Amino acid sequence: MSLRHAVLGLIAEFRGSGYDLMKVFGKTLSHVWVATQGQVYTELNKLADDGLIAVSEPGPRGRKQYTATDAGRAELRHWLAETRPVPHPRSEHLLRVYFLGSLPPDQARDYLAWLGETHTAQAEQLRQISDELAGLTSDTSRYSRLVVEYGIRNAAMTAEWAAWAITQLGETEQHRENPGR
C-alpha cells in the first residue's frame, strides 16, 4: 500500500490537486516511486472516502484542492514511525546480469558497459539537481536532499561496480584463452 502513503504524504506536505501531484511524481519522485495518472486520481478519491484527506468544492477547470485531515496526518506518522518496509527486490538489471552467461562474452560486456554509462550519466544529472537544492534551506528540502544524495551514491556505486565487473570478465576470459598456464 505504498502508493497510498506516497499520495497521502504529498498532500500532507504540499496540499494541491491530482494534477499538481502528477507533476511531483513526474519530476521529484520520478527516481523514487513511479505512479500513473489513473492510479493517483483513483487513490485520491479513496483517501477522501476514508477521511484521510479533505476535498474542496471543484474550482475553475473542475480543479479539486486536497488537504490532509488530522486522521490523515496521524496515519502518515503511524506508517513512518511504527511500520517498517518489507523488502520486495525486483531488479531487472541484476536479473539480466545473472543470465549473462547465455550470451557470448563480448555481448555480455556490452551490457555491463551500457549499465555503467547510463549510471554515470544519472549520477551527473543528480549532481545538478543536488546543486540546485543546495541553495534552499526549507524544512521540506532537507529530507529531499538526503534522497538525492542517495541517488548520486547509488548511481556512482553502480557505475564503479560495472567497471569492476568488466575487469572480472576479462580475467576469466584470459584463463580460457590460455588454459593450463
Partner DNA sequence: GTAAACATGTAACAGGTTACATGATTGT
Partner DNA sequence: ACAATCATGTAACCTGTTACATGTTTAC
User: Residues 30, 37, 83, 128: which binds DNA (CB under 7 A)?
Assistant: 37
User: Residues 19, 27, 56, 143: which binds a copy of itself (CB under 8 A)?
Assistant: 143
Which triple of cell numbers denotes residue 99?
543470465
Which amino acid type is present at position 105? P
Nearest to 40 by CA among 86, 73, 4, 85: 4
Count CB atoms within 10 A of the CB of residue 86: 5
Using CB under 8 A as the binding rule, whether residue 181 contacts a copy of itself is answered as no
Q: Which residues pair with 67 in a beta bridge?
A: 54
C-beta closer to a copy of itself: residue 58 or 140: 140
C-beta closer to a copy of itself: residue 56 or 107: 107
* Whole-number Å distance between alpha carbons of 133 and 170: 41
Q: Which residues pair with 16 in a beta bridge?
A: 66
C-beta closer to a copy of itself: residue 60 or 180: 180
User: First-to-last CA distance in the chain?
Assistant: 57
Using CB under 7 A as the binding rule, whether residue 9 contacts DNA is answered as no
Using CB under 7 A as the binding rule, whether residue 31 contacts DNA is answered as no
What is the 3-class SS of 113-181, one letter each residue? HHHHHHHHHHHHHHHHHHHHHHHCCCHHHHHHHHHHHHHHHHHHHHHHHHHHHHHHHHHHHHHHHCCCC
Using CB under 7 A as the binding rule, whether residue 53 contacts DNA is answered as no
User: Residues 10, 35, 115, 162: which binds DNA (CB under 7 A)?
Assistant: 35
Using CB under 8 A as the binding rule, whether residue 136 contacts a copy of itself is answered as no
Contacting range for a copy of itself; rule: CB under 8 A; set: 1-9, 15-23, 46-54, 123-131: 1-9
64 binds, among a copy of itself, DNA, none (CB under 5 to 8 A by kind): DNA
Q: Is residue 97 a contact partner of residue 112, using CB atoms and an 8 Å limit?
A: yes
Give contact residues for a copy of itself (rule: CB under 8 A).
2, 5-6, 9, 12-13, 29-34, 73, 76-77, 79-81, 84-85, 87-103, 107-108, 110-111, 114, 139-140, 142-147, 149-150, 153-154, 157-158, 160-161, 164-165, 168-169, 172
